[in-house]
Amino acid sequence: MTALPHAGRTAGNPIPVGTIRVGRLRKRAEFLGVAASGKKAAAPGVIVQTRRVDAAVPHLDAVADLWLGITCSRKVGNAVKRNRARRRLREAARVVLPRVAASGQDYVLIGRVETLTRPYAALISDLEGALRRLGVAQTGESR
């Protein structure tokens, strides 16, 4: 039996994305905690929610620079469409977060129906714009 490259990764280990370490939000309580913070920005292709991580927010592994959760409701479509929307958002986050997002934050990306059909460049622009409106975007030089 051959071990897969990701076989050693545990639930709390961060997923390397670019030059920053991104942890995954997995539990419903973590998603609800970010939603309760009240900071969100909507764009045609994505809704972004965020909260500042502090000592009151326990995470499995404190070595991540930021934490990311991606979700899509049934409004997006059936399971195949929701998974496609999540994959598109995951790739957009892989490109955008290392150069734009501030560390020490929890981020939740919520897929919309338009996430499926929106051109990829527009989806990237939507995510960057939402982060700027939330005030958590940094310039590329600071990374």
Query: How many Å apart are CA 50 and CA 71, to the nearest integer?
Result: 14
**Has residue 53 been placed in a domain?**
yes
User: Each residue of 125-143: pLDDT tens digit?
Assistant: 999 999 999 988 876 544 4
Q: How many residues does the chain have?
A: 143
CATH number, residue 38: 3.30.230.10
Sign of CA dihedral 53, 54, 58, 64: positive
Which pLDDT belongs to residue 43?
97
Higher pLDDT, 5 or 92: 92
- Whole domain around residue 115: which residue ranges? 17-137
Burial of 72 per CB tally in 10 Å (0-12, 13-18, 19+): buried
User: How many domains, in total, are found in the chain?
Assistant: 1
pLDDT for residue 1 is more than 90 = no
Averaged pLDDT, 5-33: 67
Prediction pTM value: 0.81
Report yes or no on 122 lying in a domain.
Answer: yes
- Tens digits of per-residue pLDDT, 83-101? 999 999 999 999 999 888 8
Assigned domain for 12 exists: no
Q: Does residue 56 lie within any of the structural domains?
A: yes
- Evaluate whether residue 5 is within a structural domain: no
